[in-house]
Amino acid sequence: MKSISTDELNQKVDAGDELHIIDVREKDEVAAGMIPGAKHIPLGELPERTGELDSSKEYYVVCQAGGRSAKAAEYLESNGFHSVNVDGGMSSWRGVTVYG
């Protein structure tokens, strides 16, 4: 499984790269802020919501610290998706955060 640091992801966000980010945290965690443009799919809902994803795209998967996102990235990979785990998660994120 591929992984990326939060600093590397932030550089891609700042550069305006077209990114597909999935935030697998729970609703109350996401209320504290998320990466702009991220799609919220709680880890427990991922199996039933993969139909919302495009297998031709690469997904950066983030959670609070990196554990749940690693599980989600493994799940996506095993189901034909390209994924990258964001090491450190939102606990390490120092970039722009949106709320709501």
Q: Which of 4, 43, 63, 73 is catalytic?
A: 63
DSSP character for 26? -
Structure tokens at 67: 């554990």
Amino acid type, 73 = A
Is position 63 annotated as part of the catalytic site?
yes
Grouping H, G, I as helix, E, B as strand and the rest as coil, residue 55 is coil
Just list the catalytic residues: 63
